[in-house]
Chains A and B, each alone.
Chain A
Amino acid sequence: MSKHTLSVMVENEPGVLSRVAGLFSGRGFNIYSLNVAPTLEKGVSLMTIVAEGDDSIIEQIVKQLRKLVPTIKVKDLTELHSVEREMVLLKVNAEDSKRAEILRIVDIFRCKVVDVSVDELTIEVTGDQGKISAIINLLTRFGIKEIARTGNVAMRRSMQIDL
């Protein structure tokens, strides 16, 4: 089982999200995250789906997505050089004695503090899955009170260089 990031371009018509989500639930496929928003082209949306499965499951997912009538294009970005980012908002306990340490972590990870109260900080983190996991791990010991994640957005890199 491995995670694959799929970039799915779809016609932005009513029910298209439900068609895609229904495809996963109806066939027992796992969605790890799903992000959808309009593109520059009118009437077209881009979905970034992170799905889990072995090679044959991922192959079926890609084929089944392509089979949906509103699907324009499906790319498995895992096989390509791509940029992946996720944004997370974290509300962390931050009483005075801990605040400096939290701010140091925020600084090291190049995150932003977007809200402050007497005993809490809300931090905006943007990065790939590794960075997000790392900062969550580091901040867990202070007590994360709330978390909101966008799920991955991803894009194929312009230059596909073999390293």
Chain B
Amino acid sequence: MKLTGAQILLKCLEEEGVDVMFGFPGGAVIDIYDEIPNSSVEHILVRHEQGAIHAADGYARATGRVGVCLVTSGPGATNTVTGIATAYADSIPVVIFTGQVPRALIGNDAFQEVDIVGITRPCTKHNYLVQDIEDLARTVKQAFYLARLGRPGPVLVDLPKDIQQQVAEFEYPDSVSMRSYKPTRKPHIGQIRKVVKLLKKAKRPLIYSGGGVITSGSHEDLTWLGQTLHIPVTSTLMGLGAFPGDDELFLGMLGMHGTYAANMAVNNCDLLLAVGARFDDRVTGKVDTFAPNATIVHIDVDPTSIQKNVSVHVPLVADCKPALASLKAETEGTLDEFDWAADHKPWVDMVQGWAKEHPLTYKDDSDSIKPQFVVEKIYEITKGDAIIATEVGQNQMWAAQFFKYTRPNTLLTSGGLGTMGYGFPAALGAQRAFPDKLVIDIAGDGSIQMCIQEMMTAVCNKLPVKIVILNNGYLGMVRQWQELFYDKNYCATCMDAQPDFVKLAEAYGAAGYRVTEKKDVEKTLREAFAVDKPVIVDIRVEKEENVYPMVPAGASLTEMLLV
């Protein structure tokens, strides 16, 4: 079958099972857009390319499938860079198609030409410039393969305009074989047995779970391990939802804004089983004093993550799914002869004692609305049955601390890069994947303004995402640092001059609510969540509320500032 490059691309997407892509047209991709009406792939028009990539990323995080976005050359392509880096930092499988000027003009500083392959080289897992129409189908196949395989990540395919117009025989490869890319997925059984031996010996074991557990779909085995072997579990921000957040063994996040119990547990455990987590500096605090008494086991599909920040005693290079399945299989046989519950009880009691001593809390002693109270209300109202996206900053941390994530893929947040403006378009991607789910973006008044234009995308595509703005009139997290470490020099963090968010929502054809009284919070949220269209709820919260606990940057995990 002879097809044009544009037709070939769309056929490839159909072959990959892509049902939707997020994009923005331009001269360099007009041929592809010309073919979209003939394809089964739905296109969602965003209002800024950053929205397209974040939406594809949110779709990928919520579904576990590959997200797709399509943009034009030059500025269209560069506008996706923040989103590509976001997906790269959090290992999210996304394929980005960018238009490129015709091959004859490449390198000539042509109109809307940039070397996007060069620009995105450090923030993609891999990228391609298609230089021959005969390579197009194979390249697309490889892009999806690479985006999913091993440690997932964004893959960019740059498509010159003349390639889109050329004609070639379409044949989609059945499989991909790349001799240069064969990540180790299965664990070494000897290492697994070593871990089981260590688990049996440990008196104070702790599981430290990361986003890799969610990406690999191994949350059930992780939950089995924690619950059956009676091991307390702490999580990175990206790992929230992998272990039920309402389980007594769950300690919440560790690290800079982690719980007292989690940070104390890390400090006192004798075995730390890190699964799909990469010892980020926000997690470890001062590396020299991280888990000082523990033998550290690190399971990760990416060998570069092992021994990078923290010295590991037992490295285990493997995909979390086969690794945890193997650990489960090896420990199942011990259940008759070994009383895990009794053995770990003193430790579990100790950890739960810390949780009771300093639970996640806040002072709710005035009439003003505390942001934590709002997040708690969202949890109560939804009973945890919602997909939560967040922006970045204090809103993100409160959303992580005060909402209990009981299932994977329900928290969409920019963990590694900390991208303001991520949450709302990511929520749109998730809402498109799950039209019947309640999708809520917990936002700050600062970060919501970074991609607010996607409100039009939400309205046009009937994506009824609820934005709850914890509006404190500040870039709250930076203000908090200024308060604590810069003598309250609130330089450039006051956002008193704001749009009227209610009117703004209405201007786009969405619904807007404002809450200034504590008594109205629950009622308004319930009303907003019941509306079948996009909504902004602008909640005026206490202006100078801080996120606690807090481990100052560079301090040890035990040096926590508490409420």
Q: Which residues of A contact B (CB under 8 A)?
A: 10-11, 14-15, 18-19, 22, 26, 56, 59-60, 63-64, 66-67, 69-72
A11, A22, A63: the one within 8 Å of B304 (CB): A63
A11, A22, A59: the one within 8 Å of B180 (CB): A11
11 pairs from A and B in contact (CB 8 Å cutoff):
A10-B180, A14-B131, A15-B118, A15-B129, A18-B121, A22-B121, A63-B304, A64-B304, A69-B125, A69-B180, A69-B181
Asked whether, in the complex, the Cβ of A15 is within 8 Å of the Cβ of B303, the reply is no
Convert B193-235 into 0s and 1s, putting 1 for each residue whose CB lies closer than 8 angstroms to a CB of A: 0000000000000000000000000000000000000000000
Is B126 an interface residue, CB under 8 A from the partner? Answer: yes
Asked whether, in the complex, the Cβ of A15 is within 8 Å of the Cβ of B304, the reply is no
A157–chain B nearest beta-carbon distance, Å: 25
Residue among A22, A66, A67, A69 having the largest count of chain B Cβ atoms under 10 Å:
A69
Asked whether, in the complex, the Cβ of B129 is within 8 Å of the Cβ of A72, the reply is no
Complex CA–CA separation, A162 to B179 (angstroms): 32
Nearest 10 pairs of A and B residues by beta carbon = A69-B126, A63-B304, A72-B180, A26-B122, A63-B303, A69-B181, A11-B180, A67-B304, A64-B304, A22-B121
Task: With CB as the reference atom, state the residue of chain B lying closest to A73.
Answer: B180
Count, chain B residues at interface, CB 8 A: 18
B141–chain A nearest beta-carbon distance, Å: 14
Is B319 an interface residue, CB under 8 A from the partner? Answer: no
Complex CA–CA separation, A19 to B120 (angstroms): 11
B159–chain A nearest beta-carbon distance, Å: 15
Residues of chain B within 8 A of A70, CB atoms compared: 180
Complex CA–CA separation, A10 to B178 (angstroms): 12
Is B308 an interface residue, CB under 8 A from the partner? Answer: yes
Known: A15-B118, A18-B118, A26-B122. A56 touches B180 (CB 8 A): no
Secondary structure dominating the interface of A: helix
Asked whether, in the complex, the Cβ of A60 is within 8 Å of the Cβ of B304, the reply is yes
B298–chain A nearest beta-carbon distance, Å: 13
B359–chain A nearest beta-carbon distance, Å: 39
Asked whether, in the complex, the Cβ of A14 is within 8 Å of the Cβ of B180, the reply is no
Task: With CB as the reference atom, state the residue of chain A lying closest to B308.
Answer: A60
Residues of chain B within 8 A of A66, CB atoms compared: 303
Residues of chain B within 8 A of A11, CB atoms compared: 180
Residues of chain A within 8 A of B178, CB atoms compared: 69
Complex CA–CA separation, A18 to B122 (angstroms): 10
Asked whether, in the complex, the Cβ of B121 is within 8 Å of the Cβ of A19, the reply is yes
Q: Which residues of B contact A (CB under 8 A)?
A: 117-118, 121-122, 125-126, 129, 131, 146, 178-181, 302-304, 307-308
Residues of chain A within 8 A of B131, CB atoms compared: 14
Q: Name 14 extra pairs, CB < 8 A, besides A11-B180, A18-B121, A69-B178.
A: A10-B180, A15-B118, A18-B118, A22-B121, A26-B122, A59-B307, A60-B307, A63-B304, A64-B304, A67-B304, A69-B125, A69-B181, A72-B179, A72-B180
Asked whether, in the complex, the Cβ of A14 is within 8 Å of the Cβ of B129, the reply is yes
A57–chain B nearest beta-carbon distance, Å: 11
Complex CA–CA separation, A19 to B123 (angstroms): 11
B310–chain A nearest beta-carbon distance, Å: 11
Complex CA–CA separation, A18 to B118 (angstroms): 8
Known: A26-B122, A63-B304. A15 touches B117 (CB 8 A): yes
Residues of chain B within 8 A of A10, CB atoms compared: 180
Residues of chain B within 8 A of A26, CB atoms compared: 122
A18, A67, A69: the one within 8 Å of B302 (CB): A67
Task: With CB as the reference atom, state the residue of chain A lying closest to B127.
Answer: A15
Asked whether, in the complex, the Cβ of A56 is within 8 Å of the Cβ of B302, the reply is no
Complex CA–CA separation, A67 to B181 (angstroms): 8
Residues of chain A within 8 A of B302, CB atoms compared: 67
Complex CA–CA separation, A2 to B118 (angstroms): 31
B152–chain A nearest beta-carbon distance, Å: 13
B522–chain A nearest beta-carbon distance, Å: 48
Task: With CB as the reference atom, state the residue of chain A lying closest to B125.
Answer: A69
Task: With CB as the reference atom, state the residue of chain B lying closest to A13.
Answer: B128
Complex CA–CA separation, A72 to B129 (angstroms): 20
Complex CA–CA separation, A56 to B131 (angstroms): 39
Complex CA–CA separation, A14 to B131 (angstroms): 10
Known: A26-B122, A63-B303, A64-B304. A69 touches B117 (CB 8 A): no
Complex CA–CA separation, A19 to B127 (angstroms): 10
Complex CA–CA separation, A69 to B146 (angstroms): 9
Complex CA–CA separation, A66 to B122 (angstroms): 15
Complex CA–CA separation, A79 to B178 (angstroms): 28
Residues of chain B within 8 A of A72, CB atoms compared: 179-180
Residues of chain A within 8 A of B307, CB atoms compared: 56, 59-60
Complex CA–CA separation, A70 to B129 (angstroms): 14
Residues of chain B within 8 A of A14, CB atoms compared: 129, 131
Task: With CB as the reference atom, state the residue of chain B lying closest to A67.
Answer: B304
Task: With CB as the reference atom, state the residue of chain B lying closest to A25.
Answer: B122
Complex CA–CA separation, A70 to B127 (angstroms): 11
Complex CA–CA separation, A72 to B182 (angstroms): 9
Complex CA–CA separation, A58 to B129 (angstroms): 31
Residues of chain A within 8 A of B308, CB atoms compared: 60
Residues of chain A within 8 A of B304, CB atoms compared: 60, 63-64, 67
Complex CA–CA separation, A19 to B180 (angstroms): 14
Task: With CB as the reference atom, state the residue of chain B lying closest to A23.
Answer: B122
Complex CA–CA separation, A71 to B303 (angstroms): 15
Task: With CB as the reference atom, state the residue of chain A lying closest to B305.
Answer: A63
B181–chain A nearest beta-carbon distance, Å: 5
Task: With CB as the reference atom, state the residue of chain B lying closest to A70.
Answer: B180
Asked whether, in the complex, the Cβ of B303 is within 8 Å of the Cβ of A67, the reply is yes
B388–chain A nearest beta-carbon distance, Å: 32
Residues of chain A within 8 A of B146, CB atoms compared: 69
Task: With CB as the reference atom, state the residue of chain B lying closest to A59.
Answer: B307
B553–chain A nearest beta-carbon distance, Å: 20
Residues of chain A within 8 A of B117, CB atoms compared: 15
Residues of chain A within 8 A of B179, CB atoms compared: 72
Complex CA–CA separation, A135 to B303 (angstroms): 42
Task: With CB as the reference atom, state the residue of chain B lying closest to A72.
Answer: B180
A67–chain B nearest beta-carbon distance, Å: 5
